[in-house]
Amino acid sequence: MNPWPMLIADLRAMRWTALLVMLLIAVAVAIGVSIGAQERALRQASARAADDLPLLIGAPGSQTQLVMTAAYLQIEAIPLIDGGLLNTLAADPRVAGVAPIAFGDIVRGWPVIGTTAPLVTAWGRLSPSEGRVFRAESEAVIGADVALPIGAEITPSHGVKAHGPVGTETKDEHARKHEGTVYTVVGRLPRRGTPWDRAILVPIETVWETHGLGNGHQIEDGPLGPPFDAKAVPGVPAIVVKPRGVADAYMLRSAFRQGGTMALFPAEVLVSIYRSIGDLRDVLLVVTALNNLVVLLAVLLVAVTLVGLRRRGYAMLRALRAPRSYVFLVIWLGVAILIAGGCVGGLALGWIAATLAAEWIAQVTGLHAVATPGWSKLRLVLILLLVGSALAVVPAWLAGRTPVSTALRES
Amino acid sequence: MPSDPGLRLANITVTVRGHGETLPILAIPALAIDAGTSIGLAGPSGSGKTTLLHVIAGLLRPDHGTVVWDGSEVSRLSEAARASWRRRVVGMVFQDFLLVPELSALDNVLLPCGFSGFSNRAQRAPAIALLAELGITAPRRRAAAMSRGEQQRAAIARALLFRPKLILADEPTASLDAMTATAMTDLLVAQATATGATLVVVSHDTRLLSRMDRVVHLDRGRLA
Ligand SMILES: Nc1ncnc2c1ncn2[C@@H]1O[C@H](COP(=O)(O)OP(=O)(O)OP(=O)(O)O)[C@@H](O)[C@H]1O
Ligand SMILES: [Mg+2]
């Protein structure tokens, strides 16, 4: 059996309707496809971002804010804690590593993060892909996404979020420049897929000094990092601690939950954020499923109407000796092609949407969420295709029901 | 050879239900058409000519009576079996052509290849030749763009392509000028003679009717 000539005639006769139907399905599928892709990719990317921050200590306040600031560098003014804690922690036997996170300055949209060497190398996990870690107060290490060459000299501005190449600074940015503070880029870190890829990492000492707080040490230009032996060590927004063991982690957390500090496991906070994202996703999935169902019903209605319009043509086929199975095949294939075309178009559309969304998210948050066309999405589309072609049986069956002679007389 | 070659109609009645009453539209006690002969069906409009052709073609199951072809009762077959019988035996020219407007004349003629077991490829050249013989020299034009006369000829070509044993034609020359009508009549009769087909033609065209072996008149569903 060769249903194609008749099928082509049908599609030609109803080309605009057919196109609209495909578009309708495509949009519905695209919505379904792009929703889940983001959520999954974000979850992975954000977990990665918190990987190197086992325990966070900050001033009491919003836990979420502290995590967002430290893990995602969503720079906000948050209260400081005593910098002297760095010394206390460095001496604590339960602590394997400790580093501050201080921010507020920006170079061309890249946040300048003041810290110490252990956090730069992610507790020794990373080594610079180019150059080396900073060794002096005037040196900086940049993340993989910072578009500066090794050897570049940069001066940070206070809290100005203008973007663009170095040398195109705005007036405002110039006005807020910390004149006299110059960093030389000495190293670049490998890509981590987190907001830290956009950060410029500098010694905490220089950040303090830039803001007129001294360098935390007794002497100028001494060795970097703890112990900070100044009479009054300046404050920091957050301290990252790498505990030696699990028990140590919990002991440290409870120890620093009181006495004017807050301690938390970022992973824990993320889990609760995920939970609410997950709830949202469940709602969205239900909405998507309903959406697809409605679209399928609409398609079915359109198909039944169109088949009604072409009834005489199908009666003609049967009058021309075509078996019912042939007419059935023509109609079923027609509807199935519309649905399949819509699904393929929807996958493409959804993929484009997901890619654009991922790019936008990377721009805004620095999270590189690579949306892979997950198997579950394909399954959704396959189900849609199966259910759709199963539903296509209805108009196909209806067309075979009127007696040929009667159908021929109706015009 | 079947014991009784040809077409035998017996006790045919067809009624339609409308407004709570049943109206008889066809009542034919007996009609025999021997194999290889031709018969003209004449009669005023609404007399049941098309209905009779549909009954013969198995498109319409009569309320009573039998249609027998070559000794086997077609009217008792299931719809699928009747479609299969039509596939093997019947070529039909419909009163309103029933072409697919979006397809070319050639594709319309070849359309039944899709379900008749004939190869589209093998039938292509014969189809083009047949269309040319019928005066359609641009077989790739869409049916919708053709004149009624051309459409009628394409419909005739579609009915004749597979050399059917039973040719049913419903006013095959109605849309044609006298000269073309004569040519079509010649062609119909010539093919029927050449293939030994039985020919049943509904027509008002006296010249066509005069070429038939026999002419019967229908009036209000009855043979006059
Ligand atoms: N399904 C039907 N329902 C109601 N009436 C019908 C039906 N089929 C046929 N008729 C009626 O039966 C009569 C015969 O119709 P038919 O089409 O066979 O006439 P005809 O002789 O072919 O006429 P014409 O020369 O105009 O084509 C007409 O009055 C028609 O209205
Ligand atoms: Mg008629």
Give the number of residues written for chain A: 411
Selected for mutation to probe chain A from B82, B85, B115 (highest A CB count within 10 Å) is B115
Contact (Cβ atoms closer than 8 angstroms) between residue A37 and residue A350: yes
With a CB cutoff of 8 Å and minimum separation 6, the contacts of A181 are A155, A156, A206, A209, A210
Which numbered atom of ligand 1 lies nearest the CA of B49? Answer: 21
* Average pLDDT taken over every residue of chain A: 82
**Separation CA B130–CA A288 (nearest Å):** 56
**Which sign, positive or negative, has the C-alpha torsion A47, A266, A226, A159?**
positive
- Please state, as a whole number, how many other Cβ atoms lie within 10 Å of the Cβ of residue A56: 25
Distance CA A367, CA A193 (A): 6
| Contact state of A2 with B120 under an 8 Å Cβ cutoff | yes
DSSP-derived secondary structure for A236-273: BSEEEEEESSHHHHHHHHHHTTSSS-EEE-HHHHHHHH
- The CB of B16 under 6 Å from ligand 1? The reply is yes
What is the per-residue pLDDT for A167? 57
Give, in order, the Cα–Cα distances in Å from A161 to each of A164, A200, A204, B41. 10, 14, 21, 93
CA of B11 to the centre of ligand 2 (A): 21
CB contact A342 to B (< 8 Å) = no
Smallest CA–CA distance, residue B153 to chain A, in Å, is 16
Distance CA B205, CA B223 (A): 18
Instruction: Calculate the alpha carbon distances from B26 to A342, B67, B223 in Å.
Output: 50, 14, 9
Give me A354's structure tokens: 């997901």
pLDDT at A245: 86
With vertex at residue A312, the alpha carbon angle to CA A307 and CA A314, rounded to the nearest 5 degrees, is 65
SS3 (DSSP) at B16 = strand
B152 Cβ contact list (under 8 Å, min separation 6): B93, B97, B172, B173, B174, B175, B176
Q: Give the distance, in angstroms, between the CA of residue A171 and the centroid of all CA atoms in the same chain.
A: 33
Provide the residue ranges of all domains of chain A, joining segments of one domain with +: 4-47+272-409, 55-264
Q: Looking at residue A71, what is its pLDDT?
A: 80
Is the pLDDT at A59 greater than 70, yes or no?
yes
Closest CA–CA distance from residue A324 to any residue of chain B (Å): 7
Measure A165 CA to ligand 2 centroid, in angstroms.
Answer: 83
pLDDT digits (tens, 9 = 90+) for A2-50: 888 888 888 888 889 889 888 988 888 887 777 766 666 666 666 666 6
- What distances in angstroms separate CA A136 from CA A100, A119, A133, A203, A334, one per listed residue? 17, 16, 9, 8, 72
**Chain B residues within an 8 Å CB radius of A401:** none
- Rounded to the nearest angstrom, the distance between the alpha carbon of B25 and the centre of ligand 1 is 7
CA nearest B101 in A: which residue?
A: A9
Are A3 and B114 inside 8 Å of each other by CB?
yes
CA distance B154 to B78: 30
Interface test with B, best of A2, A309, A320 (most B CBs within 10 A): A320
Instruction: Say if residue A366's pLDDT is above 70.
Output: no
pLDDT tens-digit series, residues A174-216: 666 666 778 899 999 998 878 888 899 999 988 888 887 887 8
Q: Residue B6: how many CA atoms within 13 Å on its side-chain side? A: 14
CA distances in angstroms from B5 to B33, B70, B95, B192, listed in the order given: 9, 4, 27, 15
- C-beta of B66 in contact with ligand 1 (< 6 A): no
Burial class (CB in 10 A: 0-12, 13-18, 19+), B154: buried
Residue A309 pLDDT: 81
Sheet of strand B166-170: strand arrangement: B90-93, B166-170, B198-202, B38-42, B214-219, B222-223
Q: Which residue has the tokens 């654009």?
A: A356
Cβ–ligand 1 contact at B48 (below 6 Å): yes
Q: Tell me how many residue pairs between chain A and chain B have CB atoms under 8 A apart.
A: 81
pLDDT along chain B (224 residues), means of 10: 79 87 91 95 94 92 92 87 88 92 94 86 94 93 93 94 95 91 93 95 94 95 89
Whether the Cβ atoms of residue B104 and residue B141 lie closer than 8 Å to each other: yes
- For chain B, how are helix, strand and coil distributed in percent, rounded to 5? 40, 30, 35
Question: How many Å apart are CA A67 and CA A52, to the nearest integer?
Answer: 12
Cα dihedral value A277, A282, A287, A291, nearest 10: 110
Q: Using CA positions, which residue lies closest to atom 12 of ligand 1? A: B25
Torsional class of B205: left (φ above 0), alpha (ψ -120 to 50), beta (otherwise) = beta
Question: Could you give all domains of chain B from N- to C-terminal order, each with its CATH number?
Answer: 6-217 (3.40.50.300)
Give A278-323 pLDDT, tens digit per residue. Answer: 777 777 778 777 877 888 888 888 888 888 888 888 888 888 888 8
- The residue of chain B nearest to residue A318, with distances taken between CA atoms, is B83
Q: Could you tell me if A401 lies within 8 Å of chain B, comparing CB atoms? A: no
User: Hey, is the C-beta of B107 within 8 angstroms of any chain A C-beta?
Assistant: yes
Cα B89 from chain centroid? Answer: 11
**C-beta A403 within 6 A of ligand 1:** no
The amino acid at residue A366 is: G
**Which chain A residues are within 8 Å of B54, Cβ to Cβ?**
405, 408
Residues of A with CB below 8 A from B102's CB?
A: 8-10, 12-13
pLDDT value of residue A143: 92
pLDDT computed for residue B105 by the predictor:
95
Query: For A3-17, A71-85, A247-261, B75-89, which range has the lowest pLDDT when averaged over its residues?
Result: A71-85
CB atoms within 10 A of CB A112: 26
Rounded Cα–Cα distance for residues A292 and A394 (Å): 18
Answer yes or no: is the C-beta of B45 below 6 A from any ligand 1 atom: yes
Nearest chain B Cα distance for residue A2, angstroms: 4
> Quick one: pLDDT at residue A364?
66
- Rounded to whole angstroms, the Cα distance separating B45 from B38 reads 22
B110 and A5 within 8 Å at the Cβ level: the answer is yes
For residue A371, name the pLDDT band (cuts at 50, 70, 90): low
Q: Which two tokens mark B39?
A: 């018969």
| Each residue's pLDDT tens digit, A137-183 | 889 999 998 989 999 888 888 765 555 555 556 666 666 666 677 88
Measured between CB atoms, which of A1, A313, A319 is closest to B100? A313
Kindly determine whether residue A405 and residue B59, on different chains, have CB atoms separated by under 8 Å. Answer: yes
Measured between beta carbons, the chain B residues lying within 8 angstroms of A324 are: 79-80, 83
ipTM over 0.95: no
Give me the half-sphere count of Cα atoms (radius 13 Å) on the Cβ side of residue A323: 16
- Does A403 sit within 8 Å of B60, measured CB to CB? yes
Q: Pick the closest to residue A202 from A64, A211, A194 (CA basis).
A: A211
The answer to whether B115 touches A5, Cβ cutoff 8 Å, is no
